[in-house]
Structure 1
Amino acid sequence: MKIFYLVLLFQASLQLECDKEITAHVGGEFILKCKYGINHFLYSKKYWCRGPSRSNCEIVADSENSRNTHRSQVIDLNRRGLFVKVTNLRFDDAGAYWVGIDKIYADIMTQVKVIITEVPVSKPRLWPLSSLVDRPTCWGKSVTLRCGCAKGTGVRYAWYQHIDRKDFLLHKSSDLYLHCGAVQKDCSYFCIGSNDISSEKSELISVQVLMPANSSCIYVVNIQGQPIYDCADRMSTTTVTTPTLTSCLVIMNISDNTRNQSLQLNETTQGFFFIRSLTGLPLWYILLRWSSFLALLIIICTAVKCTRRRYKKYANQKKNIHCRRIYHACQ
């Protein structure tokens, strides 16, 4: 009996040839091409059935369109071959199938194994949920970054921190929440999207810490494809601030005619030339500007005064000459 079964399989393999295994992605489609003996089975019905064995197989579609579904088709193109097309694949479509040809006494059948896998993930793209054009990080505000793959099914996301040439897993999520407490020093972040069959890594996000959280919390986030910005103006108004006034007690002995007494003088030291006024400019700059203005004003006043003197002297000379002419004329 086993020998007879093997002979039937051998004859079937000669009369009907198909791929033994086909792999496709969920949501996609596949087309299985087969060859068969045109001289013997040109007008025979061909079918596509599902089941673990020849005797236990449920016909899904056939070449006469009597059992074709909206997802499965059997297309007989005669000499060009026999095609089985299945679309909109689902995970439950995986399993054992058979391609068969109607024949008296015993059909010609060959088994095909269908494997359905996840769609491979594409390279993750990174973007902020709020715009970076307003530079919120320059004022220590938090930023949420999102990781997403344009292609892929069943994608799982994980965020990593790259620091000191090492990668550390932060959490498994599509979002990364950056805030002053989490950003301590310069580092990079990246996201990995993966499923059961593939894995892809995103571009690096560069985070530069200009001032730590215990100061004013200023940091810059650079993402490829996003606007590039800096916090130079914020740094210029933050780094040169009014220095902390430091007080020291200096004890001075003052001699009097009647008695000696010790006085405690509270001396305040501060960077005078770096004190900022209400306008945010250093005091030395304001003094220099007003001094220049005052010098220019003095020069202008002097020039005007000299001009008036010259004009007055010239007028007196002209008047004297006129008087002399009149005097000579009278003589």
Structure 2
Amino acid sequence: MWLQNLMLLSQASALLLCDKTIINAIVGGKFHVICKFSANQYRFSKKYWCLGKSKSTCEILMDTDGFTKATLRRRAQIIDAVYGGLHVLVSALQLEDTGIYWVGIDKIYTDIMVKIQVSVREEGVSIPEVWPEVSPVLTCWGQPVTLHCRSSQGTNVQYGWYREAHSANALLQNGPELPLRCSSLPLDGWLICTARNAVSEERSRPVSLRVLQPGQDGCAYALTSEGFESYDCWRTTQPPLTSSRSSVVVSHPALLTLTNGDGNLALHVNQTLNENPFLRSWSGVPVWYDIIRWFLFTAMIATIGLVHMHTGVKLSEKPKQNKTGACLSEANVHQLLCTYIILK
């Protein structure tokens, strides 16, 4: 008797062949099963997709007569293409979709059924990418900047922002975004974004935060990281930072230090400072203006010297013109001094 049942089962399986019987998928993914059957024999027979360990008690989820369970109407479909086969499509997979399914053809006495095993799991995260919402150059003038973090892979990903510390990382914010503002700037250090789920956890490349000028409103800070736009708050041509107690100190070709009354704050940059600090003070005046000013000052000194020399010669040769020559030289000197004061 058992041999007869086995033969019937083998014959039934041969009448319905599916391209896959084991499916491994991830949350949010999809699968497509194609089954071939005898179109001449079962062209008008109902086909269905059911869930359950036993084919005799499985629950029909959808069929070719138009029935689909309410929870699957927007993400599952069964299509009888006759000579093109039977197609079962399921998308937006969830962990709850894991189980044993059956593709069946309605038949008198015994349905033709093929077992399909589906396993849905979460996908591990990848190393998250970090980028600023706007150009990081705006940090030179204390403008707010938001850092974004995203993992290109993974399901049900949770994000967190931390400041790296020796003892333990300090949590700054939960979520993929970290807003940076003068009123709530963290301390100098490395900012890290983590992406994690039930499968794995990854950390982003660190972002260096340096507070150049603290303050609730008029602060200044710098962000540096691999892939970020390279910039230098000292060299920008936009409205610069001003401080009566600040000066630029070059201690290394790749290290910029801001010295103030509270201590030294170091900023690593990707540019080498080749400027003479005496030709460029931290006053907000462009370099070309300083050059023109010093050139005119030098020309003024030279002119004054020439005027005095010329006046001395005139006095020795023509005593009667002393007063006139003196007046002319004094007028020239006053005019040059006024010009210098205006430029200054």
State the TM-score, normalized to the length of structure 2. 0.57
Higher mean C-alpha displacement, 189-198 vs 96-105: 189-198
- Structure 1 residue 291: Cα displacement: 9.3
| Inter-partner Cα distance in structure 2 for 1:98 and 1:116 | 16
| Inter-partner Cα distance in structure 1 for 2:59 and 2:242 | 74
Structure 2 residue 191 is the aligned partner of structure 1 residue 183: no
- Structure 1 residue 50: Cα displacement: 1.9
> SS where residue 134 of structure 1 aligns?
helix
- Structure 1 residue 33: Cα displacement: 1.3
- Structure 1 residue 31: Cα displacement: 1.1
Amino acid at match of 2:225: I
| Inter-partner Cα distance in structure 2 for 1:119 and 1:307 | 95
> SS where residue 48 of structure 1 aligns?
strand
- Structure 1 residue 109: Cα displacement: 0.9
| Inter-partner Cα distance in structure 2 for 1:46 and 1:295 | 103
Within a 5 Å distance, the mapping from 1:225-304 to structure 2 comes to 225-232=227-234, 238-239=246-247, 295-296=301-302, 298-304=304-310
- Alignment length (residue pairs): 267
| Inter-partner Cα distance in structure 1 for 2:48 and 2:199 | 32
- The answer to whether the 8 A contact 1:156-1:195 is kept is yes
Aligned to 1:14: 14
With over 3 angstroms needed to count, the CA separation of the structure-2 counterparts of 1:40 and 1:199, relative to structure 1, is: farther
- RMSD of equivalent CA atoms: 4.9
- Structure 1 residue 11: Cα displacement: 3.1
- The answer to whether the 8 A contact 2:246-2:282 is kept is no
Amino acid at match of 2:11: Q
| Inter-partner Cα distance in structure 2 for 1:278 and 1:63 | 78
**Structure showing greater Rg:** 1
Q: Deviations over 1:213-263 (max 9, x none)?
A: xxxx9863213554322243669962467999xxxxxxxxxxxxxxxxxxx
Aligned to 1:106: 110
- Structure 1 residue 22: Cα displacement: 1.7
Structure 2 residue 25 is the aligned partner of structure 1 residue 24: yes
- Structure 1 residue 107: Cα displacement: 0.5
With over 3 angstroms needed to count, the CA separation of the structure-2 counterparts of 1:117 and 1:300, relative to structure 1, is: same
Amino acid at match of 1:301: V
Structure 2 gaps of 5+ residues are 236-240, 249-258, 263-277, 322-344
State the TM-score, normalized to the length of structure 1. 0.58
Amino acid at match of 2:60: I
With over 3 angstroms needed to count, the CA separation of the structure-2 counterparts of 1:87 and 1:176, relative to structure 1, is: closer
- The answer to whether the 8 A contact 2:28-2:155 is kept is no
Within a 5 Å distance, the mapping from 1:59-74 to structure 2 comes to 59-67=60-68, 69-74=73-78
With over 3 angstroms needed to count, the CA separation of the structure-2 counterparts of 1:52 and 1:189, relative to structure 1, is: same
- Structure 1 residue 129: Cα displacement: 6.2
With over 3 angstroms needed to count, the CA separation of the structure-2 counterparts of 1:229 and 1:295, relative to structure 1, is: same
Amino acid at match of 1:134: L
| Inter-partner Cα distance in structure 2 for 1:243 and 1:189 | 27
| Inter-partner Cα distance in structure 2 for 1:117 and 1:293 | 80
- Structure 1 residue 127: Cα displacement: 3.1
